[in-house]
Amino acid sequence: MPIVPIVGKLRRKLIADLSIAMGLGVSCGYLYWYSVHIPAMKKRDDFYLKYEAKKLAGGV
């Protein structure tokens, strides 16, 4: 009884692995961007707006 060659299994696995990795990478990137980066930049920008307003008013 001969052993049947496995054809295309490695290619399908590689495509699945790459698709899953790209999907998870993009999802984690969006999660970081909108839950960490954007709020931190908003907090920084608000601080500098308040600082500039205080500086123009002569408080610093």
Q: pLDDT band at 1, cuts 50/70/90?
A: low
Please tell me the distance from the alpha carbon of residue 6 to that of residue 12, in angstroms, as a whole number. 11
pLDDT at 10: 81
Contact 45, 53 (CB under 8 A): no
pLDDT in tens, 3-21: 777 677 788 889 999 999 9
pLDDT digits (tens, 9 = 90+) for 23-45: 999 999 999 999 999 999 999 99
Does the pTM exceed 0.85? no
Q: What gap in Å lies between CA 35 and CA 29, rounded to an integer?
A: 10
